[in-house]
Amino acid sequence: MNTHKPVILSLTKMHEAGLGLLREAGNLKMSSGWDQATICREIPGADALVIRTQGEINAAVMDAAGPSLKVIGRHGVGFDHVDIDAATERGIQVVYTPGANLESVAEHAISMMIALSKFFMPSIEALKQGDYFARTKWMGRDIKGRSLGIIGFGRIGKRLGEIAYQAFDMKVQYTDIMDMPKHATERAGGAQRVDLDTLLATSEYISLHVPLDSSTRKLINRETLAKIRPDCILLNTCRGPVVDELAVAEALDESRLFGYGADVYEVEPPPVPGHPLIGRTDNVILTPHNAAQTEESLINMAQWMAEDVLRVLQGQQPRYPVNNPQAVAAARLKLGL
Ligand code: NAD
């Protein structure tokens, strides 16, 4: 009988819905840090590595783990900080939790649209200072019926489109590199597919929902910002490096952009002081990468990820694989590579 309890190294705290499963099935160890040296020191012999957004999970980390490492579980969606090719090369399965936090991120984007449109931030600040008469200082606007451009019409982008159309009768348009079946756009009021330039030039709200990769890094830059309407509110709840923050600050200063809302930053944690956007309140709303920090999302992410990590450790197929190391290895064998 195999009595080996798998060693699971976690770089993150998470909801008990997932931690409990991992603790029950394995020998769960919490890392003492996220920097490369700490991870490399603590990972040797681990069968599984559990991560969130912190830590750069590259080939060196995988090599430090040694051949025992079978699975990396990403609590969340973006996996731009994991070297997927290196994992596949080493036969390591990577799993993640697509869809586990889509409601929370879509609601976060909607909240930012409302807060910026109604000048919540400066009016709350004014009231705090005792300035009740600031009530007539800003002219807010309603979002009903306005145009919303969604860049990246995947799980979160589609859900945002549905809420915007169904709750606010917004005119939804999107751009994506994938073809969308008609049923995928119906719940968002038959969202119109447009090219990026059209979306930039015609949207009163633009919301970013792409993964971070070479096609999306600095997608919003001086050149693309120059195409945006001056009454546009731009939202970034996907990944910080998709936006050139300095270019956004310039556009706001020159009234070429109405407002900016973000949950993510080019560098995380962002430098304070010294960040070009943090500290502005009139037309900026910023949150500390906590769009998915809701009870529902935290339970889903922890539980789905833990279940998949355990599936892999038990030799089963994961529900949410990022890569397919077995298929790659089989294809290599067939080709005699
Ligand atoms: P998804 O994979 O379902 O959707 C991404 C969409 O972007 C896909 O339809 C894809 O085809 C499209 N896309 C890719 N490259 C593109 C390009 N160059 N131009 C236009 N479209 C492009 O992912 P999702 O679940 O909707 O999540 C989107 C992103 O949101 C994630 O990659 C993650 O980085 C981020 N996210 C952030 C938080 C947070 O806490 N703020 C939480 C969850 C997800």
pLDDT tens by residue, 27-86: 999 999 999 999 999 999 999 999 999 999 999 999 999 999 999 999 999 899 999 999
CB neighbours of residue 16 within 10 Å: 13
Listed in order, the ranges of the chain carrying CATH 3.40.50.720 are 7-100+295-335, 102-286
Number of Cβ within 10 Å of residue 124's Cβ equals 11
Atom of ligand 1 nearest to the CA of 158: 26
DSSP 302-315: HHHHHHHHHHHHTT
Whether the CB of 101 sits within 6 Å of ligand 1: yes
CATH of span 7-100+295-335: 3.40.50.720
Cβ–ligand 1 contact at 208 (below 6 Å): no
Q: What digits encode the pLDDT tens for the residues 220-248?
A: 999 999 999 999 999 999 999 999 999 99
Return the ligand 1 atom nearest residue 210 CA: 7
The rounded distance, in Å, linking the Cα atoms of 56 and 74 is: 12
Whether residue 145 is predicted with pLDDT greater than 80 in this model: the reply is yes
Q: Are 296 and 104 in contact (CB under 8 A)?
A: yes
Asked whether the predicted pLDDT for residue 1 surpasses 70, the reply is: no
d(CA 36, CA 56): 7
Using a 6 Å cutoff on CB, does residue 153 contact ligand 1? yes
Please give the positions annotated as active site. Answer: 239, 268, 289
CA distance 171 to 148: 6
Q: Contact 12/75 with Cβ under 8 angstroms?
A: yes
Tokens of 180: 């969308």
Distance CA 133, CA 4 (A): 69
Which of 209, 268, 290, 301 gets mutated to test ligand 1 (max ligand atoms within 8 A of its CB)? 209
Q: Is the CB of 174 under 6 A from ligand 1?
A: no
Check if the beta carbon of residue 305 is closer than 8 Å to that of residue 299. no
The class (CATH top level) of 102-286 is alpha beta
β-pair type (259-262, 284-286) = parallel
